[in-house]
Every structure is written in C-alpha cells, then in structure tokens.
Amino acid sequence: MSFTTPYFTLPKFVYFKPKNIEEALGMLKQHKGRAKVMAGGIMLVNLMKERQIFPEYVIDLKNIDELKKINVTENGIEIGSMVTAIELQNSKLIKEKCPALAKAASFMGDRTLQHTVTIGGNISVGMPSTDGLPALMSMDSVLEVRSSEGKRFLPSSELVLGIGRTSLKEDEIITKIIVPNDEKVMGTYLKFINASEVAIATVAVTVHHEKKKLALSVGAIAPRPYYFDNSSLQWNWEGSVAENIKRASDVVYKAVQPMSDAVASAEYRKEMSKILTARALKEVFGGA
Amino acid sequence: MTYKNVGKEVPQADSWLKVTGTLKYAFDINFPGTLYAKLVTSKLPHAKIKSIDISEALKVKGVINVATGKDFPYRLGLYLSDRDVLAVDKVRWIGHPVAAVIADSLEAAEEAAEKVKVEYEPLEPVLTVERALEKDAPLIHEKLGEYRVFPGFHPVPGTNIANVFELKHGDVENALKEEDTIIIEETYRLPQISHVTMETQNVLAWWRFDDYVEVWTSIQSPFATRYLMADALKLPVNRIIIHAPPAGGGFGLKAGLGWEPLVALLSKFAGRKPVKLVLSRAEQMTSAPARDGFIAKVKAGFKRDGRFVAYKAEFYLDAGAYADYTINVARTAGYSADGAYDIPNVHVTSYAVYTNKIPTTAMRGFGHPENHWALELTLDRAASVLGIDPVEIRRKNLLKPGESVRATGERVREDEGDPQKVLSVLAQAIDLNHVERASEPWKIRAKGIALLVKAPSQPPNAGASAVVKLNEDGTIDVLTGNGSMGQGTPTSLAILAAEAFGVPLEKIKINQLEMVSTDTNPYTWQTVGSRGLFSDGIALLRAIEDAKNQIKETASRVFKVPVDDVEISEGYAYSKTHPWIRKEIREFAMGYTYPDGTTVGSPVIGRGSYAPILNTFLDANGHGSNTVFHTYGGTGVELEIDLLTGEVKVLRAVQVYDVGKAIDPLLVKGQMDGGFIMGLGSALFEQLKFGEDGKVLNPNLITYYVPHFEDMTASMESYIIETPQKDGPLGARGVGEHVMVAVAPAIANAIFRATGVKINELPITAEKLWKAIKEQKPELIDKALKSFFEEGIKEVEQI
Ligand SMILES: Cc1cc2nc3c(=O)[nH]c(=O)nc-3n(C[C@H](O)[C@H](O)[C@H](O)COP(=O)(O)OP(=O)(O)OC[C@H]3O[C@@H](n4cnc5c(N)ncnc54)[C@H](O)[C@@H]3O)c2cc1C
C-alpha cells in the first residue's frame, strides 16, 4: 500500500459481473493471468489507480449471492467470502462465536468503507496490517478455495506468503471461511495505531474455555502474522491468570522479530507486541 | 456600549450551503469544452534537464498539446521571484513539475503524462540545511542574484541562503557572560508539515480571445494573486480577472500565487480554450508547497529570580526548493522571536535555506509556531532549573503595555491587550499545580501552558477597501476583498455592517455570497496574517460612514434641518431635535423622490479604505515599526501519558485570547477549537517524511495522519478577553492563526513538567516519546511495566 501516485483515473479494463461461482471461475480460467476478481473493490481499485496492477479483466463478485451467506453446517460456521465488515459486526452469531473477527471487522477502514469491504478481499490483499487475518488465525479457521478444477481447503495461517503475496493461484478464489463451531468462545482483537492509519501492531485472541484451548495471533509487525497457542505460550490452565499473562507476553516478546518501516521501528513493535498481548489477554480473562 | 448584532453568536453566513453540500467551490465550476491539465513531475531531486521527448504523449488520443518549461519563460514570486512556471533547464525537487499535458479528458491527460520522457543529468542533491550551508555545497539557485527581491529582504547570491535577517537589541554577549546569568542552551526542531486543506489546489483558467484572462481558483487573496500574475506575465493588472469562490480551507497554502499562471498559459497554449488543473492529494503533498522545516539553536540567559535577560538564537528554515514566501516566514520568525516577553538583550539571526526538497510557503502562524516552539520550551526549561513556577516566570517577564519596548524597538502600545490578564485567566483555568492522579498506575497526568503574541506580518502599505450599496428596499450589499476559506470573516464583517448601519443582520449581503472577483470587489492586500477583520473591517466602517453621510445629506434637504441634526438608526433617518421627522433609509437609497417626481440626492454608495499608519520596513538591526496590532493568548493542556506505549491523550484544553472585541463569539470559539485541533495534529502526529533522495514518503492521509474524531479526547474550553484595540473595528483585533500556535509548546511543556523528559522536536508520536523516556528516564518505564504486570493484571483475577 503506497498511495503515492498522482492519478485520478484507472487504466482501461473490461468489466464482468458473473451471476454464480461457476461462471466466475470459468472467466478466471479463460483469462488466466490477465484477470482479477473484485470483491468490495476498495483495494483493487486503489492498486489500479496506483498503477501497481493492470488487469485487463475485472471480475466483480458482487452478484454472487451464495458468497454473501453465513451458515452453520456440520463443518462449523461457514462465512461467505463476500460477507462485509458491517455484516460481521452486526451478526449475532459472529459476535457470539467469533468475537475476535467481529471486533477486527470494526477496524477495517472507516465506517463508510466497512459497508463495502469484504472478509475475502480483506485477507487476500496480503498486507501485513490486514485486520481480518490475525482474527481468522486465532480462530484456527480454514479457507475453502475454488477454481474451475475443483476445491481445496487451506488453513488461514497458510494464506499469506509475504507482503502482497498469497498462496492463491491465479484462477482460484476464496469462497468460504470455515470456523470451528465451539461453545463458550471468548476473544478480542486489539489494534494499535499512532500517527498513521497503518497499524503498528495488532493482536487477536480466541479462547475456548471448555476445550482449554487458547490461540493468539500478532499482526502488522511482520509480513505474516505470528501464531501462538496455549502450548507455545506455556499457558497453565490451573495457574494464576496474572502469571500466565505475564509469561505469555514474555514468550511473544522473545519470539517475534518485527520489521522496521516508516510506521514504526522493530524495537518499538516488539515492545508493543508484548503490551498488546497482555492487554488482549487481560481483556478476555477479565471480561473488561 | 450595548450592541444589537455585535457579540451575539451568529453561525457563518454560508453554513446552510455547507451542511447541505451545495456550496460551490472552485472545484465545482466547469464549462462545457473545458480541457484537463496533468503535471509531469521530476523523479530526481536535483538534475539538469537534458531533453524532454513529448512525441509519444502527443500521440495519445485526446491530447491537445504538451507544454514544457521552455514554453513559459516567466519567473514567479511574491517576495522573491525564484519560481519557474515549469522547470527550466533543471529540476530542484522530486515532484518539480517539468511538463504539463493538456487533453480533452482526464484519462487521456493522465495516460499521456506517463509517456512524456525526460532525460536528466543528475546533480548532487542538497537534502539538509546543514549540507546546504557548507562552503562546497552545490547551488540550488545559481541565479539567485538576478531574481527580483521585495524591499527589506536579503538573499545571499552564491550560496543557498535565500534570506538572512538579523535582530539586535541590547548586548547579548555581555549579558550571557555575566557571572550570575544562568544559561539554557538547546536545539529545537520542527518537521515540514502539509496544510491539508480539504479542497486541494485547483484552477480553471481561460485566456480569452480578447486577451483578458479569467481565472476561477481556490485561493485566499484574489488581489495579490492578480497582481503577482500580471507582474509575472507582464500583463496590465486589469487584464486579469480572478474569481475566488469560498475555498475549502486555506491555512496559508492558498495565499500569494499558486498554479494560476501555469493554467492560464496552458489555456493560451491550447488555443485559448478553458483549462482546468486539479491537484490530487499526492500531487498536493509532493509538487505543491508545504510548511518549512525549522531548526533553532538557542542560548538563553536568566537571573536567579527568573528575569529573562538574554536571548541569542539562530533560526534555520528549511525552505525547500523555493523560498518565495518562506523568506518572509523566516524574517517574521526572527523579528518576533522575543514573543510576549520583555528581554533586554536579544540577538537573533534567521536564515531561509534552500534544499532539494518540496518547496515551502506561508502557513497558519507564519513563523510563530516556529519561534514559539523554541521560546516557550526554553521558558519551562529555565523555570525547572531555577525552581520557579512556569506561570511565575512568565508573569515576571511579560511585556507591559504602554511601557515596554520590543527587540525591534517598537513601543508596546497601551491598548495592545492585557498579557497579564491572559496569563492569570489561563493559570486559574488550568491550575498547574493541582494535578490529579492518572487513571492507571502506569500512566502519568500532566499539565502545561504556553503563551504567544502575534501580529500580522505584512508590507507597510498593506491596505484594504470596501464598498457598501444601499438597495431600493433598504437592503445593503457589502463588498470587500476578503477571501472566504471557512474562517468566517465575511460573517463578522456583515455583523459589523449591520451594527454600524443600525439594521438587522438579514438586510446585509456580503461579497456576492462570499465569492470575491477582482473586477467587482474592492481591493484588499491579502486575506492572511489574521488581518481580515481588522483591515477590511476598518475600511468597511469608513465606507458605511460615507454611505450614511450621503443619506444624511439628502435627508437634511428633505427634512429641512441641518446635516448634523440627522441621525440614522434602526433603519430610519431622523432629526435629532425633531425626532418625529423621520423616514426609512430605503426612501433615500436612489435619492429621494417627491410625489411630483422631483428627486434630490442620488444612489447611495459608500466607499472606505484603510492603510497602516507610519509602518516601515525593518533596518539592518531588525529595528522599525512594522505591525498594526498584536494579539496575546495562551493554551493550557491537561493530558495523560501512557508510559507503556508513549501515547499522549489530551484530556482538557484551555485557550485564552484577548481579541479586543468578539464581534461574533461563536466564530472566535470556532477558531479556538479548530486551532486547538490543528495544533494537536502538529504536536502529536503530523510530519512529511522524506526518503534518502528527498522524496516525500507519505503524500496521503493514511500515513500523513491528521486528527480524527477518535483523537478528539479533550474537552475544549475557551476564554475570550476583551481589552479594546482603540483603532480596531469596534475594538477588535485578529485571532485566526494564533489559536494553533501555543498548543504544541503547551503539550511539550506538560510532558517535561511531569516526567522531566525533554522532547525538542515535533511530532511527539508515541514511539518518539517512548524512546525519549527510555533514554532519559528508563526507570519510569520499568516502574510502569512492573505496576502493569503486577497490579494491572491482578485486577483480572479479582473479577
Ligand atoms: C483508505 C483505505 C483504508 C484501509 N484501511 C484498512 C484497515 O484499516 N484495515 C485493513 O485490514 N485493511 C484496510 N484497507 C485495505 C483493504 O482495502 C481492505 O482490507 C479491504 O478489506 C479490501 O476488501 P475488498 O472487499 O474491498 O477487496 P478488493 O479490493 O475487492 O480485493 C482485494 C484483493 O483481493 C482479491 N480478492 C478479493 N476477493 C477475493 C476472493 N474471494 N478470493 C481471492 N481473491 C480475492 C482481489 O483480486 C484483490 O487483489 C484499507 C484500504 C483503503 C483504500
């Protein structure tokens, strides 16, 4: 994300608006390498305006209703990739079962953008500061990825490879996000920004009390979010919460190797990862 | 004195249109057949232009023409003609416009702009003030000696110094040497910042077939723009017609001369078709000017009892590639460096220095955010060393109206305002020594203050004029040259007019709904320096006097009473001695007509004008009399520092200003609140970041961060003091810019007072403060971490 070029207009492209997934996948196959799918379009249009990408074909997914649904199935909670940030925040189910995601969605750009931003588009951007991915990772979610050849399941932690790079092939799209349907889920998402809209550090936490399972993801500090679970955090379910939080923050602090950029230095990001980890865990366990 | 209109809280005249989104800005004005311009800009900070190939660009469908610097051999500038229209021979910063494409669509213009090929021969870039001042530094303006310079300025040809100004008062060296003088020595810095007007600069120009040049543009000062454009293009002044609709923010960016000459020339170049140029945010923040960067090297001397006895300072303004307007910012920072204080020995040298970075220009505060950052921090550093309260050290040294003399030798007028009262009201409202406990044990509560004084910085002859016309039905049209950019002066002027005429405010219309055109509106020098209400207001009151005299003249004939027996009030002219003899003023609007048709008098049109009295340029020691009024004020803040993150959250902001007379207190408060928010942005967030090659890295509002609603954590309190300015309109003086100046120093002073941590450079971002605390007071962070992980988390278990 650079936003440094002076343009108002877009390079020329051909626009498609398919009615179902199959049609979309067919177009992607036909124009492989020269087409891009458009979800909310917030990032796509900007990348085009910035002259960073020049797709000859833009395949808009907005007419595909089956991508806009949130369903509960035997696989778990299935969130369509075209569900918007506002819908995630307003859904009772998501708030109850995926609290980290509901909260992360409230940070995806401003309120106006959130009506347009989709969860699929958000995570496919592959930017370090993307809000959706740490939340999805803390929930141990799996992505359903489809192409005209078929479908595969990809752990959300394996989506992003580097800055702006994902493991999706040119003819693949994310169709769903599948989250385990657990009872008594707690979680939160904290985003630390200062003097820039781009996050310095983010932390997502999801805790399943009954399953004695805790996962935490630290985003924005490196090209890919970091993932920790109760065992790597040395979480002791019998021990004092304060001790646990302290130990977990130390583990995170020691494990992360942040990047330095125009937003923040590595040193500061490291320290903030610790503070944010403690704050997030405190919020979850204290109910604050 | 009781007033009918003055002193009431009246919303701005154009608010209804603003909130309905129907106010027309320059941006909204379009003609059928208008062509679009797009800039091609330099990718190198400093380079010779070897060749420009426009052939591929011309092939793009819809492209009319492509202009380069050679096509427009004119020099531009207000105080120093150091600007070219498009780069000629060499480029001076990354973003320097090299060529401009004109096309029948924006798409074509942008496509073609990418196809203009420029071949450069790189020159060594000069990216810091330090490097620019070295003897062997490459010259950025080889022809500095040939530029036209406004009187009172001193560029140094053969160097990168665009201007040097010196202020000498008393004997600084001696005072600093005295044994009992305690010295405070510091270096302070400010970054380049952007004005961030909501409406970017945009110009629609049409070079007509009759050789009149019409321009619609988003600016503050239509008359200065017209004159400077005529001067540069060597056209008679009245061949240029500037239309200035309300501007979506100005803040100094839109003073002086902007893109108007370029777009006008492009119109001519395109066969005299109207051409429009709209800057994108990225262009605004890379190709258009910003505010200077600033370095102050300060040595200040105090006596044990707190007396401020010596102030020696060197100011270096990083002016970037063009210093046209910034040389006056540097001069102003220099001559007003002593702020609100009576310092017997002062020596300030202020340089404007060229570098190969984004050019700079005027910005709200005009040298005062710079010199007060140095001065007001120094006072608190001294207070701490001397063990004196920040309020007391200021009280001791404040200028005394009617007694003191500034370092420029200018006497402080008796009616200048009441600095002691400003300080007392501020001190009482903020209550520095009563600091509550922070909301968490790992946070620190802090309070701080800063004062300021500022006068308009303008040429000695900066005049103003006004016209009032009485209509058939008794409504009144007021015309001034005051540009409207959200500051509200036109509304205040309308209130003044209603008051002076004795009619309800609804009867007044001002400036054709705030659109100023140089063909129809009377002259004012510029809408800058917080001079609008004062200068245009005086001219307006004189115009109203003139109009009233015309009415009285006619009425005296009709009433058959002497002229001086006629009075005007509440929309009537009447005889003072025979008050039952009266008629509505509308009956005199076009002269008075008797039932048989006989008419006495003629249409009423009043004119009034104003120019400062006995102002001069400053001499070689910086001495002279160059101000018309001063406004004193101050800011107090209460804030919380999160020691874990370095974040600063302002909880309370107190602003106190002696405005002489608040013509519209709502607008004064609006300025105070807006000024605080702008000051907060520059204090905590804002900074243009430069890459190693001088390129602006954050020309967007994602990574160049201005305050958002969620940053508005402070409750804002404003206190208006009214010590009348005898020659001001109904006692008023200006307050537009002032209100942002003391915010950043107050915040830095609060942080220093509470933690002992010195931050000498803005912005105070969380990371910068965290690092400063870690370096200067690591024990504070250790303690905070301890309490956070011990007490802070213990609470969790109790829940
Ligand atoms: C002003 C601004 C502020 C922003 N602020 C934030 C922020 O605070 N937090 C944040 O996380 N992000 C932010 N972003 C980045 C980004 O725009 C958002 O993350 C947004 O979620 C993108 O979603 P979208 O639906 O608009 O995606 P699009 O722009 O439509 O798509 C983004 C990319 O993903 C691809 N894509 C879209 N859907 C799919 C799919 N189903 N399968 C495979 N590939 C797909 C597209 O081809 C494209 O390359 C911001 C962007 C802007 C312009």
**Would you call the peptide bond into B763 cis, given omega within 30 degrees of 0 as the criterion?**
yes
* Distances in whole angstroms, Cα of residue B197 to Cα of each of A196, B290, B364, B678: 18, 11, 12, 11
Question: Residues B457-510: pLDDT tens digits?
Answer: 999 999 999 999 999 999 999 999 999 999 999 999 999 999 999 999 999 999
Atom of ligand 1 nearest to the CA of A197: 8
The b/e string for B788-799 (b: 16+ C-beta within 10 A; e otherwise) is: bbeebbeebeee
Is it the case that residue B794 has pLDDT exceeding 70? no
Chain A contact present for B702, CB below 8 A: yes
Residues in the ligand 1 pocket, defined by CB under 6 Å:
A 36-44, 46, 81, 107-109, 113, 116-118, 120-122, 124-125, 130-131, 168, 173-174; B 702
Angle at B34 between CA B30 and CA B38, to 5 degrees: 105
- Contacts of residue B21, defined as CB under 8 A and 6 or more positions apart, other chains included, come to none
Q: Are strands B631-642 and B443-454 parallel, antiparallel or unpaired?
A: antiparallel
Nearest to B222 by CA among B251, B260, B194: B260
Q: pTM higher than 0.90 for the full model? A: yes
Res B395: pLDDT: 98
* SS3 per residue for chain A: CCCCCCCCCCCCCEEECCCCHHHHHHHHHHCCCCEEEECCCHHHHHHHHCCCCCCCEEEECCCCHHHHCEEEECCEEEEECCCEHHHHHHCHHHHHHCHHHHHHHCCCCCHHHHCCCEHHHHHHCCCCCCCHHHHHHHCCCEEEEEECCEEEEEEHHHCEEECCEECCCCCCEEEEEEECCCCCEEEEEEEECCCCCCCCEEEEEEEECCCCEEEEEEECCCCCCEEEECCCCCCCCCCCHHHHHHHHHHHHHHHCCCCCCCCCCHHHHHHHHHHHHHHHHHHHHHCC
Is it the case that residue A288 has pLDDT exceeding 50? no
Q: How confident is the model at residue B790 (pLDDT cuts 50, 70, 90)?
A: confident
Mean pLDDT confidence for B396-419: 97
Question: Residues A51-109: pLDDT tens digits?
Answer: 999 999 999 999 999 999 999 999 999 999 999 999 999 999 999 999 999 999 999 99
- Within 13 Å, how many C-alpha atoms sit on residue B126's CB side? 25
CATH 1.10.150.310 assigned to domain B290-458+616-778? The reply is no
Nearest to B795 among A9, A200, A286 (CB): A286
The answer to whether the Cβ–Cβ distance between A262 and B794 falls below 8 Å is no
Res B758: pLDDT: 98
- What is the rounded CA–CA span in Å between residue B341 and residue B399? 5
**A119 Cα–ligand 1 center, Å:** 8
Question: Residues B166-212: pLDDT tens digits?
Answer: 999 999 999 999 999 999 999 999 999 999 999 999 999 999 999 99
Res B391: pLDDT: 98
Res A1: pLDDT: 52
Question: What mean pLDDT is reported for chain A?
Answer: 95
Radius of gyration of chain A (CA): 19
Mutual orientation of helices B390-397 and B368-386 as an angle, nearest 10°?
110
Shortest-distance Cα residue to atom 1 of ligand 1: A109
- Contacts of residue A92, defined as CB under 8 A and 6 or more positions apart, other chains included, come to none
In the numeric block, which tokens belong to residue B621?
């020691």
Nearest to B85 by CA among B306, B220, B255, B234: B234
DSSP secondary structure letters along B231-280: HHHT--GGGEEEEEPPPS--TTTTSS--SHHHHHHHHHHTTS--EEEE--
Nearest chain B residue to A263 by CA: give it: B703
Nearest to B222 by CA among B14, B511, B609: B511
Residues 233-262 of B with CB under 8 A from A: none
| CATH code given to domain B15-20+462-610 | 3.30.365.10
Residues 277-306 of B with CB under 8 A from A: 278-280, 282-283, 286-287
Q: Which residues of B touch A287 (CB under 8 A)?
A: 799
The answer to whether the Cβ–Cβ distance between A272 and B771 falls below 8 Å is no
* Distances in whole angstroms, Cα of residue A34 to Cα of each of A63, A146, B139, B300: 21, 18, 48, 66
- In the CATH scheme, what architecture does the domain B31-123+201-278 have? Alpha-Beta Complex (3.90)
For B261-265, B571-575, B795-799, which range has the lowest pLDDT when averaged over its residues? B795-799
The percentage of residues in chain B with a pLDDT greater than 70, rounded to a whole number, is 99
Tell me B570's DSSP state: T
Q: Which helix (H) or strand (E) holds B192?
A: none
Residue B413 contacts residue B725 (beta carbons within 8 Å): no
Question: What mean pLDDT is reported for chain B?
Answer: 96
Q: Which residues of A touch B765 (CB under 8 A)?
A: 194-195
Other beta carbons within 10 Å of A282: 23
Q: How far is A154 from chain B (nearest CA, A)?
A: 32
Residues 672-701 of B with CB under 8 A from A: 684-687, 689, 696-701
**A45 Cα–ligand 1 center, Å:** 9
Res A126: pLDDT: 92
Residues 23-62 of A with CB under 8 A from B: 51
Q: How confident is the model at residue B798 (pLDDT cuts 50, 70, 90)?
A: very low
- What is the rounded CA–CA span in Å between residue B637 and residue B745? 10
The answer to whether the Cβ–Cβ distance between B702 and A245 falls below 8 Å is no
Q: Which residues of B touch A6 (CB under 8 A)?
A: 38-39, 41, 279-280, 282-283, 286-287
The answer to whether the Cβ–Cβ distance between B699 and A4 falls below 8 Å is yes
Res B799: pLDDT: 40
Chain A contact present for B793, CB below 8 A: yes
- What is the rounded CA–CA span in Å between residue A70 and residue A91? 9
DSSP secondary structure letters along B372-414: HHHHHHHHHHHHHHHT--HHHHHHHHB--TTT-B-TTSPBPPT
In the numeric block, which tokens belong to residue B281?
């945010």
Residue A259 contacts residue A266 (beta carbons within 8 Å): yes
- CA dihedral in degrees (A106, A110, A111, A113; nearest 10)? -110
Residue boundaries of the structural domains of chain B: 15-20+462-610, 31-123+201-278, 290-458+616-778
First CA to last CA distance, chain B: 62
The percentage of residues in chain A with a pLDDT greater than 90, rounded to a whole number, is 93
Tell me B533's DSSP state: I
- What is the rounded CA–CA span in Å between residue A120 and residue A122? 5
Q: How confident is the model at residue A183 (pLDDT cuts 50, 70, 90)?
A: confident
Question: Residues B360-400: pLDDT tens digits?
Answer: 999 999 999 999 999 999 999 999 999 999 999 999 999 99
Question: What single letter denotes the amino acid at residue B537?
Answer: G
Question: Residues B734-760: pLDDT tens digits?
Answer: 999 999 999 999 999 999 999 999 999
Question: Residues A206-215: pLDDT tens digits?
Answer: 999 888 999 9
Interface A:B, Cβ pairs < 8 A: 105
Domains of chain A: 14-60 (3.30.43.10), 69-179 (3.30.465.10), 185-285 (3.30.390.50)
Q: Which helix (H) or strand (E) holds B419?
A: helix B419-430
Q: Which residues of A touch B770 (CB under 8 A)?
A: 268, 271
In the numeric block, which tokens belong to residue B589?
């609007």
Q: How confident is the model at residue B13 (pLDDT cuts 50, 70, 90)?
A: confident
Phi, psi at B649, each rounded to 5°: -125, 115
Question: Residues B147-161: pLDDT tens digits?
Answer: 999 999 999 999 999
Q: How far is A258 from chain B (nearest CA, A)?
A: 15
Are the folds of B31-123+201-278 and B290-458+616-778 the same?
Answer: no
The answer to whether the Cβ–Cβ distance between B702 and A198 falls below 8 Å is yes
- What is the rounded CA–CA span in Å between residue A78 and residue A144? 9
Res B795: pLDDT: 60
Question: Residues B317-349: pLDDT tens digits?
Answer: 999 999 999 999 999 999 999 999 999 999 999
Q: In what order do the strands lie in the sheet with B572-575?
A: B566-569, B572-575, B582-584
Chain B contact present for A253, CB below 8 A: no
Nearest to B280 among A8, A196, A246 (CB): A8
The answer to whether the Cβ–Cβ distance between A8 and B106 falls below 8 Å is yes
Nearest to B192 by CA among B759, B671, B694, B648: B694
Q: How far is A30 from chain B (nearest CA, A)?
A: 28
Q: Are strands A201-208 and A213-219 parallel, antiparallel or unpaired?
A: antiparallel
Nearest to A6 among B283, B645, B771 (CB): B283
Q: Which helix (H) or strand (E) holds B787?
A: helix B778-787
The answer to whether the Cβ–Cβ distance between A245 and B106 falls below 8 Å is no
